[in-house]
Amino acid sequence: MDVRPSEEHIAFQKSVRDFARSEIAPHVAQWDEAGRLPVEIVHAMGDLGLFGLPFPEEWGGSGADFLSMCLAIEEIGRVDQSVGITLSAGVGLGASPIHRFGNDEQRGRWLPDLLAGRALAAFGLTEPDAGSDARATTTRARAAGDRWVLNGAKAFITNSGTPITSLVTVTAKTAEDEISAFIVPAGTPGLSVQPPLRKLGWHASDTHDVALEDCHVGPDALLGAIGSGFKQFLSILDDGRIAISALAVGCAQACLDAALEYAKQRPAFGGPIGRFQAVAFALADLAVAVENARNLTYKAAWYKDTGQPFREAAAMAKLYSTESAVSATRTATQIFGGAGFMEESPVARLYRDAKILEIGEGTSEIQRLVIARGLGLPVG
């Protein structure tokens, strides 16, 4: 098994890295302080082909493998986690459900703009009282002639309120023990996007709660078969966990980059602090963690790309990478000392951004549950 990127992968990764450093890095602090998603950078990533990477050419994609998607997310996340999650969610949670479970009419209507970065789509699974326990959804869909009427609420929905959001895909109960998925176009009467949420991190990422009040959609809104919504969304989350793992690798690598540079330059007691074992060993451990996280992520992507079962591999990658990213921000901030606690420091933003990585796309506890079940343990 060889999960190393090919020469073509490496060339592509460099092109994304150059783009991130020239088009994103100079503006990150401003976007973070303003709490604004820069729609212009979404369009720019679309022009670069990033939103269409893992999709077939017939729908406007480039037909690339999932490892390429991970490389792109890693490099964008290395510069800014908010823009990284915008890309990750736009592809994995936004466009993927339409591509994987939609019919050709739905794909033809929505995918061209989504894959070109002209539009974004949101994924409405989480509710105020249904997070890890997604089966506890209380959103309902009842048939009314040939239409569906949706009522409920979704919480913490990424890319749901941007000027270019075109749709929200939501889960809803169509019977007591039956969950289905529906495409709700932006602007549909009864669909209301609540004010932007104030978050600990990811300040430049668009996040809102969404309400559905007698929201009428047509028969073409049903995504896949009735009753298949829960299974569909769990499958989407398996893909998303690899993507979040790649975002976490970018975060951890950014911490290593910043702390290493600081340790080489910051003087104390007659020389750079990097000469002290306490600092040097912390950076050595961080380098090992980054390498392990990257290898687990690439391995999970390789399993997916080669058509092998990857649920447990995705859970392992997500668990290790996200917890390593959170640890990396602590290490980097400690090395920076008091300067790391200042918002002007690059590691301060990373410290704020990292925590959600252990929560979104399934908490660390859920990942451990998936892994334990993969071991054959009857854990509930």
Q: In sequence order, what DSSP letters do the residues of 97-160 get, joined into one string?
A: HHHHHS-HHHHHHHHHHHHTTS-EEEEE--BTTBSS-GGG---EEEEETTEEEEEEEEEEEETS
Cβ neighbourhood burial of 180 (10 Å; 0-12, 13-18, 19+): buried
CB of 141 within 8 A of CB of 172? Answer: yes
Contacts of 15 (CB under 8 A, 6+ apart): 48
Specify the pLDDT at position 380: 81
Integer-rounded Cα Rg, in Å, for the chain is 21
Contacts of 319 (CB under 8 A, 6+ apart): 364, 367, 368, 371
Task: Report pLDDT digits (tens) over 316-351.
Answer: 999 999 999 999 999 999 999 999 999 999 899 999
pLDDT above 80: residue 1: no
pLDDT above 80: residue 2: no
Specify the pLDDT at position 203: 98
Q: 231-374 maps to which CATH number?
A: 1.20.140.10
Where are the CATH 2.40.110.10 domain residues in the chain?
A: 121-226
pLDDT above 90: residue 3: no
> Is residue 314 very low, low, confident or very high in pLDDT (cuts 50, 70, 90)?
very high
Rounded to whole angstroms, the maximal C-alpha distance in the chain is: 80
Task: Report pLDDT digits (tens) over 23-57.
Answer: 999 999 999 999 999 999 999 999 999 999 999 99
Helix, coil or strand: residue 169: strand
| CA 242/CA 238 separation, integer angstroms | 7
> Is residue 135 very low, low, confident or very high in pLDDT (cuts 50, 70, 90)?
confident
Q: What fold does the segment set 7-120 form as a domain?
A: Butyryl-Coa Dehydrogenase, subunit A; domain 1 (1.10.540)
23 flagged as catalytic: no
Specify the pLDDT at position 343: 94
- Token pair recorded at residue 296: 């687990």
Residues 13-29, mean pLDDT to the nearest whole number: 98
Which sign does the torsion angle of CA 211, 212, 218, 222 carry? Answer: positive
Residues 176-203, mean pLDDT to the nearest whole number: 97
Residue with tokens 């994987």: 100
Residue of 138, 160, 142, 41 lying closest to 89 (CA atoms): 160
Q: Which of 33, 358, 361, 365 is catalytic?
A: 361
pTM: 0.97
Where are the CATH 1.20.140.10 domain residues in the chain?
A: 231-374
Where are the CATH 1.10.540.10 domain residues in the chain?
A: 7-120
Which is the CATH superfamily of the domain at 121-226?
Butyryl-CoA Dehydrogenase, subunit A, domain 2 (2.40.110.10)
